[in-house]
Structure 1
Amino acid sequence: MRTILKQLFFKYCILFSCVISSQNFFAQRLTATDTSEKSVRRYQNVINNNKQLVRFIEYCFTKRNIPKHMRNLAIIESGLDKSQVSSAGAAGVWQFMTGHANDYGLTESDRSDMYKSTKAVTNSLINLYNKYHNWVTVVAAYNCGGGNVNKAMQRAGSKNYTDFESFLPLETQNHVQKYLNACYATGELNSVLQDYYKTPVRQKETPNKQSVDVKKFKENTVKNQGKIDLMETTINGAYHLDTILKYLKIEKSQFLKWNPELERNLAQKGESILILPKNLMDMFTINKYRILTESLKK
Structure 2
Amino acid sequence: MKINFKNILTVLLLASAHCVSAQFLSASDTSENSVKRYRNIIGSNKVVVDFIEYSLVQKGLPRHLRNLALIESGFDRRQVSGAGAAGVWQFMTAHANQYGLSEQSRSDLYRSTKTAMISLTQLYKKYNNWVTVVAAYNCGEGNIAKAMDAAGSSQYHIFCKYLPAETINHVKKYLNACYATGELESVLSNYNSSRMNTVFFVNGGSKTDNDPLEQTDINAGFNLDIVADELKVDMDKLLSWNPGITEELQTKGESTLRLPTDLMPDFLLRKNKILSRSIKAGATANTK
- TM above 0.5: yes
Read off the aligned partner of 2:207 and give its amino acid letter: R
Structure-2 residue corresponding to 1:86: 81
> Is 2:196 the partner of 1:205?
no
Which among 93, 99, 104 is matched to residue 99 of structure 2?
Answer: 104
> Is 2:167 the partner of 1:162?
no
Q: Which has the larger radius of gyration?
A: 1
8 Å Cα contact 2:138-2:170 kept in structure 1: yes
Structure-2 residue corresponding to 1:138: 133
Q: Residues 25 and 128 from structure 1, CA distance in 2 versus in 1: closer, same or farther, beyond 3 angstroms?
A: closer
8 Å Cα contact 2:21-2:188 kept in structure 1: no
Tell me how far 1:107 sits from its aligned partner: 1.4
> Is 2:198 the partner of 1:192?
no
1:81-140 residue CA offsets vs partner (Å, 9 max, x unmatched): 100001110000000000111122211221001111000000000000000000000000
8 Å Cα contact 1:28-1:163 kept in structure 2: no
Q: Any stretches of 5+ residues in structure 2 without a counterpart? A: 1-18, 198-205, 214-242, 244-254, 257-288
Which among 98, 122, 125 is matched to residue 127 of structure 1?
Answer: 122
8 Å Cα contact 2:21-2:192 kept in structure 1: no
Structure-1 residue corresponding to 2:29: 34
Read off the aligned partner of 2:79 and give its amino acid letter: Q
Identical-residue share of aligned pairs (%): 59
Distance of 1:107 and 1:162 partners within structure 2: 34
Tell me how far 1:26 sits from its aligned partner: 7.6
Displacement over 4 Å in runs of 4+: 24-28
Residue 61 of structure 1: SS of its match in structure 2? helix
Read off the aligned partner of 2:58 and give its amino acid letter: K
Which among 61, 69, 77 is matched to residue 64 of structure 2?
Answer: 69
Distance of 2:124 and 2:155 partners within structure 1: 14
8 Å Cα contact 1:32-1:180 kept in structure 2: yes
> Number of residues paired by the alignment?
191
Give the TM-score normalised by the residue count of structure 2: 0.62
Q: Residues 164 and 27 from structure 1, CA distance in 2 versus in 1: closer, same or farther, beyond 3 angstroms?
A: farther
Which among 169, 174, 193 is matched to residue 169 of structure 2?
Answer: 174
Read off the aligned partner of 1:205 and give its amino acid letter: D
Give the TM-score normalised by the residue count of structure 1: 0.60
More helix by share: 2
